[in-house]
Amino acid sequence: MRARPSRLLHLSPVTPAPDAAPLRLVDVQAAVSAELDRIAPVIDELGERFAAAGHELALVGGPVRDAMLGRRSNDLDFTTSARPDETDRILRAWGDAWWDMGRDFGTIGCRKGDWVVEVTTYRSEAYDRDSRKPEVQYGDHLAGDLGRRDFTVNAMAVRLPGREIEDPFGGVMDLAHRVLRTPGTPEQSFSDDPLRMMRAARFAAQLGFAVDPEVVRAMTEMADRIEIISAERVRDELVKLICAPHPRLGLELLVETGLAERVLPELPALKLERDEHHRHKDVYEHTLTVLEQAIDLEPRLAERGDIAPGPDFVSRFAALMHDVGKPRTRRFVDDGTVTFHHHDVVGAKITRKRMKALRFSNEQIEDVGLLVELHLRFHGYGTGEWTDSAVRRYVRDAGDQLERLHVLTRADCTTRNQRKADRLRRTYDDLEARIDRLAAAEELASIRPDLDGTQIMEILGIGPGREVGEAYRFLLELRLDNGPMETDDATAALKEWWAARS
């Protein structure tokens, strides 16, 4: 294993991420050996095919890093001395399906059974300071290709078919330390590609790694460089960060370095000033805690709803944004309290505007915005004073986001007063039980009037038009107030409404 021997003997402690276990080099070596044996059907055969054609091939980047961490994946990245046309020829003789959308960047992909493979020609890139798009130049050496990568833990390779590990920048040791460093100076790396600053935060969140102080300093000094990156690229990194196992680590790094001011300014804005006369909960810390509690509650979404298991961006981002309306709505009261009236409505508008700027889909914007807008609705429930009509409206307004609203509302309780926390939990348990009972009796998931449009026109003797819509809305409100009605009763109510309207 080609790591720097002198560094092997001088491991210094690095602040571990939550639930992080120390990594020993012997464990790293055992993990990578086991993973290479598992993927041997791919790496050995491909290595031999490229070697027979006179080319070098190496497993590189994330797959090598993950192998050392004991993580498994069937998506494998390789780098090679072969040019794209020759790579394409070799893969077509081996794989089951092929694609070359990345040919302009030297990348050819294929699928072989359950394996997905991408092979990229050695690259040596030159960057325009005002653009993150590199001018692609092919290289001739593996070390040069590794040197252009973002972090040392991603700048390791396994030469094939011999399985020699290449680690010219000490990635093995950084992985053992659980620390992120750049192969060269962080200033040069971030100047070449400012998106790497976002990736530092994302990898901290994904891997639970600390970030080298020099990298943090460079991120802080160069935060404004992120502004040349497209909104779509920033959005994609932000989504990966928020869906990572430890998003708090990445978000705190974005705030600490000033990057959040450029990409998600609503987050650092939650650090509201406090004084000795007007005290309120730390909104920034509260928000990060709500996010973590929402993550803990995510299994509910798969158990009770139709949301796939795993990280759920919509519920996580709603938790992160639920209080962003507070800075604009904060008011000081003479008795020493602070109010944030209507911060739910204001926050929903702010959230939709930010997500639109980051080029999120309209569906995601509306889903997250709705959750932010409704996150306080439960607090009007009191100790169960809501009528059945109010419960129906709660379900109707939440629509297909009801299960996510349950998660957000429960996560929003961060009080340290155990008695109060238990009371809120029991009260929400009661609300959910009432929803379940009404749902079983009334099909709440698809609340509709007791008469449809055709019946409305027949009963009132009118054709299609505005009046039908008004009648439909009247019947819907009647349904929400009274629950299901017999057809005769609904018909009588409709005629009475029509007569009074006329």
Query: Closest Cα partner for 176 from 318, 68, 72?
Result: 68
- Give the Cβ contact number of residue 502 at 10 Å: 6
Residue ranges of domains in the chain, CATH in brackets: 1-181 (3.30.460.10), 185-264 (1.10.110.30), 280-446 (1.10.3210), 453-501 (no CATH)
Structure tokens at 353: 């505007």
For residue 114, pLDDT over 60 is answered with yes
pLDDT at position 54: 96
Burial of 413 (0-12, 13-18, 19+ CB in 10 A): middle
- Interval 432-488: pLDDT, tens: 999 888 877 666 656 777 788 888 888 888 888 888 888 888 888 887 777 777 888
Confidence of residue 6 (pLDDT cuts 50, 70, 90): very low
Contact 236, 229 (CB under 8 A): no
For residue 8, pLDDT over 70 is answered with no
CA dist., res. 317 & res. 371, Å (int): 10
What residues pair up with 166 in beta bridges, in sequence order? 157
Contact 204, 180 (CB under 8 A): yes
Span 149-160, average pLDDT: 95
pLDDT at position 13: 33
The reported pTM is 0.83
Query: Closest Cα partner for 120 from 50, 214, 197?
Result: 50
For residue 60, pLDDT over 80 is answered with yes
pLDDT at position 55: 97
- Interval 224-251: pLDDT, tens: 999 999 999 999 999 999 999 999 999 9
Specify the DSSP class assigned to residue 17: P
Contact 367, 403 (CB under 8 A): no
Span 116-139, average pLDDT: 75
**What are residue 211's phi and psi, to 5 degrees?**
-110, 130
Vertex 368, ends 362 and 373: CA angle to 5°?
120
- Give the Cβ contact number of residue 260 at 10 Å: 21
Total count of residues recorded for the chain? 502
**Whole-angstrom Cα Rg for the chain:** 29
List of residues 6+ apart from 224 with CB closer than 8 A: 262
Contact 224, 194 (CB under 8 A): no
Distances (CA, A) of 145 to 241, 325, 340: 26, 46, 53
Q: What is the DSSP string of 224-291?
A: GGGGGS-HHHHHHHHHHHHTSS-HHHHHHHHHHHTHHHHH-TTTGGG-----SSS----HHHHHHHHH
For residue 280, pLDDT over 70 is answered with no
**What are residue 216's phi and psi, to 5 degrees?**
-60, -45
210-211 and 331-332 strand pairing = unpaired
Structure tokens at 226: 């992120």
Q: Is the peptide bond before 161 cis (omega within 30 degrees of 0)?
A: yes
Q: Is 135 left (phi over 0), alpha (psi -120 to 50) or beta?
A: beta
pLDDT at position 75: 94
CA dist., res. 112 & res. 121, Å (int): 20
Structure tokens at 178: 């659980």
Contact 92, 100 (CB under 8 A): no
Confidence of residue 399 (pLDDT cuts 50, 70, 90): confident
